[in-house]
Amino acid sequence: MAIRVAVWGPGSMGVIALRGVIDHPELELVDLVVHSDVKTGRDAGELCGADPVGVVATADPTALLGGDADVVVYSAAANLRPLEALNDMVSRQVSDDVFGEYMAWLENDLGTSVNQAALQQALGNSAPDTN
């Protein structure tokens, strides 16, 4: 059985992830969230240079809540919009098994205090569970 994947943010980096999901024999693309009106309504395959796959891009991230994804690949420029990205991830989290994101930019020494403050604000000033 294939792992069902949603991709959120097929921009300059996310389009690479999108193509990787489409091309991988053990993955099945089930949802695609975009931030551009130009991409909304287009087939995911078309957006990354592949044949159509039957998954139409939506600008409505709430579609992920009702979707069938086992995993969400979040690639929506989190490093350029940290507060918005954290809010996206926290507000759309369905369960620990459905949504995950490794945010390397949170570990950047140059932005540590800003990133920690953003994380605390997005999580409602509670410390994240690191276990």
Query: Mean of the pLDDT values across residues 102-106?
Result: 48
CA 15 – CA 98 distance, rounded (Å) = 21
Give the model's confidence band at 129: pLDDT under 50 very low, under 70 low, under 90 confident, else very high: very low
What is the model's pTM? Answer: 0.70
The DSSP element (H or E) to which 30 belongs, if any, is strand 27-33
Give the model's confidence band at 131: pLDDT under 50 very low, under 70 low, under 90 confident, else very high: very low
**Pair of tokens at residue 32:** 């695609």
Least confident of 18-22, 83-87, 89-93: 89-93
